[in-house]
């Protein structure tokens, strides 16, 4: 079955058993279930542990990622915390691609301070260095995004998975940017795919959400245990909100891609742009690797402007690009990562990933491309 068909039949594929044959996911907005009134193989008792609405979305997400199980969480960062709870313990070591989401960077600081977890940041495109690190240190978890955000590097997930596996480390990929409509980390060898559903997955930006998909049943059971023990499970109404966007994900992603390719081509030639970084552009040094891992390029671009003044003027002057955090919604967005999504990074660590105060991140929405290009042209005058 193709991903488009799976997502279009979300309720049915999620295993919903509705007496009225509801076409979309019914919301079981209840804390408890009466044990005396249920029969059959699946019994529900308490929504924190299990809920039919959440079960359906988890089933579809697990299928979409080709995983064994999925746990849906209140937020994307909650799903990353759940990953850490499942795989790390006090004094563990974790290896993380240094170009990571600012919230992940902040959460790692918490684990460092509270649980003495040793955090190693590295450039995952340097495979030799990664191999050496994996052979000399004993990592419980290796984590990266691909494409990285906001650096837009592509990580060779197949190679990383092989290296992590041969050194006994679990390997997790944050798939928020690419999404399962484009990239399947578990098929490339990862043990976990974790993502924020706040972004492309829902696309409407009405709530925050996340999910953690495990390749093996064994890992999935541990994840479900911690999701329940720590109360990380997503509430049924938010599951419903997220589910509204899911069937249109592949279609939306293709539109984001088409517009982003045109915006990239325009910005690459602009005299005020020092460098444009977009994996969908043939000029991206890892374009071929990107194509081998992703079916569709997401609509997020990173632009290094000629100076800070130009960057600030661009952000302040656009009409259709709101100065907002997050990405992947119908409306276009623009931000200076150093000020918003990556404000938790130290200045030194931001420079180490090549992000400057003159760096701008664009999320290309679903507006008409002519309006977006005209807007950028006016804002860059
Ligand atoms: C790559 C990535 N992962 C995880 C998250 C966290 O997701 P949420 O904001 O839903 O908690 C974000 C949020 O921006 C992100 O960009």
Ligand 1 atom nearest to 100, measured from its CA = 1
Distance of alpha carbon 323 from alpha carbon 334, whole angstroms: 5
Determine contact, residues 81/141, Cβ cutoff 8 Å.
Answer: no
Q: Which of 78, 175, 198, 211 to mutate to test the pocket of ligand 1 (most atoms within 8 A of CB)?
A: 198
Query: What 3-state DSSP class applies to 204?
Result: coil
Q: Is 369 exposed, middle or buried (0-12, 13-18, 19+ CB in 10 A)?
A: middle
322 CA distance to ligand 1 middle (Å): 18
Distance of alpha carbon 174 from alpha carbon 230, whole angstroms: 21
DSSP-assigned letter for residue 37: G
Distance of alpha carbon 9 from alpha carbon 24, whole angstroms: 8
Q: Which of 102, 147, 176 to mutate to test the pocket of ligand 1 (most atoms within 8 A of CB)?
A: 176
Percent of the chain residues topping a pLDDT of 90: 96
Q: Which two tokens stand for residue 23?
A: 């076409």
158 CA distance to ligand 1 middle (Å): 23
Report the pLDDT value the prediction gives residue 227, as an integer from 0 to 100.
Answer: 98
Counting as low any pLDDT under 70, the low residues of the chain are none
Check: pTM over 0.85? Answer yes or no.
yes
- Per-residue pLDDT tens over the stretch 137-194: 999 999 999 999 999 999 999 999 999 999 999 999 999 999 999 999 999 999 999 9
Report the pLDDT value the prediction gives residue 41, as an integer from 0 to 100.
Answer: 87
Q: Which two tokens stand for residue 123?
A: 């450039």
Backbone φ and ψ of 70, nearest 5°? -145, 145
Report the pLDDT value the prediction gives residue 344, as an integer from 0 to 100.
Answer: 87
Lookup result for tokens 């924020």: 196
99 lines ligand 1 (CB under 6 A): no
Report the pLDDT value the prediction gives residue 247, as an integer from 0 to 100.
Answer: 98
Distance of alpha carbon 356 from alpha carbon 94, whole angstroms: 26
Q: Which two tokens stand for residue 104?
A: 């992940």
176 lines ligand 1 (CB under 6 A): yes
Please, what are the domains in the chain?
A: 3-247 (3.40.640.10), 249-379 (3.90.1150.10)
């Amino acid at each position: 079955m193709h991903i488009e068909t799976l997502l279009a039949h979300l309720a049915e594929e999620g295993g919903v058993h509705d007496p009225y044959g509801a076409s979309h996911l019914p919301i079981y907005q209840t804390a408890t279930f009466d044990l005396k009134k249920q029969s059959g193989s699946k019994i529900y008792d308490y929504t924190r542990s299990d809920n039919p609405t959440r079960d359906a979305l988890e089933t579809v997400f697990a299928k979409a990622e080709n995983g064994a199980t999925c746990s849906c969480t209140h937020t994307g960062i909650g799903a990353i915390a759940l990953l850490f709870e499942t795989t790390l313990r006090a004094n563990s070591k974790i290896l993380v691609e240094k170009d990571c989401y600012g919230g992940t960077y902040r959460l790692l600081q918490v684990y460092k301070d509270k649980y003495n977890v040793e955090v190693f940041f590295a450039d995952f495109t340097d495979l030799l260095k990664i191999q050496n690190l994996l052979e000399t240190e004993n990592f419980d978890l290796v984590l990266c995004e691909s494409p990285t955000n906001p650096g837009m590097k592509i990580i060779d997930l197949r190679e990383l998975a092989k290296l992590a596996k041969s050194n006994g480390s679990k390997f997790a990929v944050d798939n928020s940017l690419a999404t399962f409509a484009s990239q399947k980390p578990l098929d490339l060898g990862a043990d976990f795919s974790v993502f924020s559903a706040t972004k492309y997955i829902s696309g409407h930006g009405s709530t925050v959400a996340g999910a953690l998909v495990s390749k093996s049943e064994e890992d999935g059971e541990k994840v479900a245990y911690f999701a329940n023990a720590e109360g990380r499970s997503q509430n049924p109404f938010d599951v419903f909100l997220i589910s509204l966007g899911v069937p249109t994900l592949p279609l939306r992603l293709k539109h984001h891609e088409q517009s982003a390719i045109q915006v990239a081509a325009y910005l690459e030639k602009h005299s005020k742009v020092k460098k444009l970084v977009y994996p969908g552009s043939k000029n991206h040094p890892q374009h071929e690797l990107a194509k081998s891992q992703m079916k569709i390029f997401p609509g997020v671009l990173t632009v290094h402007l000629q100076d800070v003044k130009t960057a600030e003027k661009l952000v302040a002057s656009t009409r259709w690009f709101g100065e907002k955090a997050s990405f992947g919604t119908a409306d276009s967005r623009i931000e200076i990562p150093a000020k918003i999504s990556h404000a938790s990074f130290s200045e030194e660590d931001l420079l180490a990933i090549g992000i400057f105060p003159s760096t701008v991140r664009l999320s290309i929405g679903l507006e008409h491309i002519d309006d977006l290009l005209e807007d950028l042209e006016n804002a860059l005058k």
